[in-house]
Amino acid sequence: GENVEQHPSTLSVQEGDSAVIKCTYSDSASNYFPWYKQELGKGPQLIIDIRSNVGEKKDQRIAVTLNKTAKHFSLHITETQPEDSAVYFCAAGLYNFNKFYFGSGTKLNVKP
């Protein structure tokens, strides 16, 4: 099956700085890469996703890049704010079959 590795496990940045979280996957058949944000006491919430036919996708301060050849994808958050503090999970899987394998999570702390 798919194996998703996520780094770093914790990330601390100053408010206004950028944050980058990286994931690698093992199964070349994976074609869908969502990112989830989990705030304390809540379930993960989808924040952005990308399909394998796209190399980059941006939504305001959040962007995701995908390198299919190298089997890695990254989440970029610019101009971080304290409310960005949360645990972020990447996932990889097969879009049509809704099979997702999650990374181990990155705890992002944005210091005011």
Cβ proximity to other proteins: between 1 and 112 the closer is 1
Which residues does residue 67 pair with via DSSP β-bridges, in sequence order?
72
Torsion of CA 77, 33, 107, 17, to 10 degrees: -10
Which CB, 43 or 112, lies closer to other proteins?
Answer: 43
Residue 58 near residue 66 (C-beta atoms within 8 A): no
Residues that bind other proteins (CB under 8 A): 6, 34, 36, 41-46, 49, 89, 95-105
Nearest approach, Cβ of 1 to other proteins (angstroms)?
9
Residue closer to other proteins, measured from CB, 22 or 95: 95
